[in-house]
Structure 1
Amino acid sequence: MAPATIPTFRIGLGLAAVGRPGYINLGRERDLPAERTVDAMRARTHELLDAAYAQGVRYVDAARSYGRSEEFLADWLKARPDAGDVVVGSKWGYTYTADWSTEAEHHEVKDHGLATYERQRAETDALLGDRLDLYQIHSVTPDSPALTDERLHERLAEAAAAGVTIGFSTSGPAQADAVRAALAVTVDGEPLFRTVQSTFNLLETSAAPALAEAHDAGLTVIVKEGMANGRLAGPHAPDALRAVAARASLGCDAVALAFVLRRPWAGVVLSGAATTGQLASNLRAAAADLDEDQLARLDALAEDPRAYWARRGQLPWH
């Protein structure tokens, strides 16, 4: 397989919140334009990308199911020839089905079959072409057929041989099991996956041991949902997080992301900012200095993963 192209800057920008009009993040009614037209969301995405690039962010994360995120990113890349050093990641496995509506019954449909990979890979190639560096299976769970489909593995290995790094993301209370199962997937005796993207935050820490194992096995670990879909932002943050943030003279968001950055296995931590102000505050996490007492107070916020994911599943699309 060809050498992997992986992100190196420790905070990246995820486009889940701005590539489509509806998502489950809290606070969207304040953060986004009142009229979430395609043009308005494209403009917001480009504004965020400009701000992120100016502040040193060099990894951007999209997905086929994030509405028009790949399209918005592709437009920005074409307009910014100076941004050739941006590492671009995207994901396949969910199809966006909301038709640019916040009221759809189903916003995305999951399918990890080979036919979906072939279709979505062609769609991604049509937009991002040779700018695609990392292609990830979206939200692998322990029962995902993507872990056992040898024909799919062969096609992914072909993409890797052509220079695209192959990774996977995880979701759900059994993330650790999914990570460990994926680490065992090989093609011709070589590990297939070079990156893993998982949910890890103050409230959901259950995947940490498996992510440490992935790091030790040579995978780059990308952390998503470090803000727990807005549950760790100022208006919704637990009292303990508010107290630590006040003592550190930082926003709750910066402290929450700093907690993740302290993990020795965390390679890249995604900001899911929807405004440039949120992005600037998120990026302050890189310079946050939390002491052991503060970290201990934050450690105590962890929830049972089943309870965490049950609550996440009840968040409305809005």
Structure 2
Amino acid sequence: MPFARLATATTPTCHIGLGLAAVGRPGYINLGRARDLPAERSVEALRERTHDLLDAAYAQGVRYFDVARSYGRSEEFLADWLKSRPDVADVVVGSKWGYTYTADWSADAEQHEVKDHGLATYERQRAETDALLGDRLDLYQIHSVTPDSPALTDKDLHARLAEAAARGVTVGFSTSGPAQADAVRAALAVTVDGEPLFRTVQSTYNALETSAGPALAEAHAAGLTVIVKEGMANGRLAEPNAPAALRAVAEETTLGCDAVALALILRQPWAGVVLSGAATVTQLGSNLHAAVVDLDDHQLAGLAELVEDPAEYWERRGQLPWH
């Protein structure tokens, strides 16, 4: 598996990856975008921002980069950076298919993405990804699987994914929504010719939303690499929006709320890669401090009080505006 390279990385930040959802398109649901991004969010401005982040991440030991077909031009930006940096052969690249970006580079579009887990969408988006990333693609994931997703039962799709795996691409899936645990367990049962199809799972897990934890532990025990997304809860766990309990722990550690929030995830024995969704180089540097945060039992108890009901968490997430 390509992900085996992360296990042999020598830097303490090897378990932190960089996701490009926030900088691959002008509009997203993260809080604080007006502060984090340039006033003019042109293609070239965000391409430059993305390359700055990738340079900084690589220099500080980050080796996993996460994009998706629906993240605007994230695959294009990453592909450009890879071509300009032939010395970065040790990075691991993951992308996702299943959502089509429809905002046409607008932050005010009526609809930003359309979900479809059908075989035709896979074939089209796989060709699009191949055209940009080619043999640099290590991991291809189904984007946001839910328990009712046809991707869990479509045998023709499973056969095509198994063919991709046989050619050397790791096949995985991501999850979203209040029933993430059910989706993970359903995906673990998917096999082709008696062999498990999926080798990675990417799920939302953070101080507010921990419901997928037991299922992710099961996935880890089954041999899957677990990737954690939305560790900052789309900015709800970062200053100035962080809850008081998190700010108190951050003050005790003398580090940022973001570093503490990500450190809480890194403590989980099943967490293989924890994604930073930083939009600035400064944010990235602060996120990477998570690798040195040491939380005691009292601090962990305080953070445990932040956990929300999954349905309430996802309802609130669904109300965050694209901006």
TM-score, structure 2 normalization:
0.97
Cα drift, residue 231 of structure 1: 0.1
Unaligned runs of 5+ in 1: none
**Structure 1 residues 254 and 7: alpha-carbon distance in aligned structure 2, compared to 1, 3 A threshold:** farther
**Structure 1 residues 7 and 59: alpha-carbon distance in aligned structure 2, compared to 1, 3 A threshold:** farther
1:88-167 alignment runs, 5 A limit: 88-167=93-172
Q: Out of 265, 275, 281, which is 1:276 matched to?
A: 281
Partner of 1:62: 67
- The amino acid of 2:163's aligned partner reads E
The Cα offsets for residues 164-191 of structure 1, whole Å up to 9 and x where unpaired, read as 0000000000000000000000000000
- Tell me if 1:41 matches 2:46: yes
Partner of 2:246: 241
- The amino acid of 2:41's aligned partner reads R
Question: How many pairs are equivalent?
Answer: 316
Q: Out of 262, 270, 279, which is 1:265 matched to?
A: 270
Contact 1:195 1:221 in 2 (8 A): yes
TM-score, structure 1 normalization:
0.99
Contact 1:7 1:59 in 2 (8 A): no
How far apart, CA to CA, are the structure 2 residues paired with 1:97 and 1:6? 35
How far apart, CA to CA, are the structure 2 residues paired with 1:237 and 1:7? 34
Cα drift, residue 313 of structure 1: 0.1
Q: Out of 196, 211, 224, which is 1:219 matched to?
A: 224
How far apart, CA to CA, are the structure 2 residues paired with 1:259 and 1:64? 29
Contact 1:14 1:60 in 2 (8 A): yes
The Cα offsets for residues 79-130 of structure 1, whole Å up to 9 and x where unpaired, read as 0001111100000000000000011010000000000000000000000000
Partner of 2:204: 199
**Structure 1 residues 6 and 109: alpha-carbon distance in aligned structure 2, compared to 1, 3 A threshold:** farther
SS at 1:98 equivalent = coil
1:80-95 alignment runs, 5 A limit: 80-95=85-100
- The amino acid of 1:194's aligned partner reads R
- Tell me if 1:251 matches 2:256: yes
How far apart, CA to CA, are the structure 1 residues paired with 2:29 and 2:170? 29
How far apart, CA to CA, are the structure 2 residues paired with 1:15 and 1:171? 17
- Tell me if 1:308 matches 2:313: yes
How far apart, CA to CA, are the structure 2 residues paired with 1:127 and 1:263? 34
How far apart, CA to CA, are the structure 1 residues paired with 2:101 and 2:4? 26
Partner of 2:9: none
Cα drift, residue 5 of structure 1: 4.0
Cα drift, residue 261 of structure 1: 0.3
Q: Out of 277, 291, 297, which is 2:296 matched to?
A: 291
Unaligned runs of 5+ in 2: 7-13
SS at 1:151 equivalent = helix
Percent identity reads 82
* CA RMSD after TM alignment: 0.7
How far apart, CA to CA, are the structure 2 residues paired with 1:242 and 1:40? 32
Partner of 1:174: 179
How far apart, CA to CA, are the structure 1 residues paired with 2:158 and 2:304? 38
SS at 1:269 equivalent = strand
How far apart, CA to CA, are the structure 2 residues paired with 1:285 and 1:4? 24
Contact 1:4 1:194 in 2 (8 A): no
How far apart, CA to CA, are the structure 1 residues paired with 2:181 and 2:34? 33
Cα drift, residue 234 of structure 1: 1.1
How far apart, CA to CA, are the structure 1 residues paired with 2:224 and 2:132? 27
**Structure 1 residues 301 and 63: alpha-carbon distance in aligned structure 2, compared to 1, 3 A threshold:** same
SS at 1:127 equivalent = helix
Contact 2:2 2:92 in 1 (8 A): no
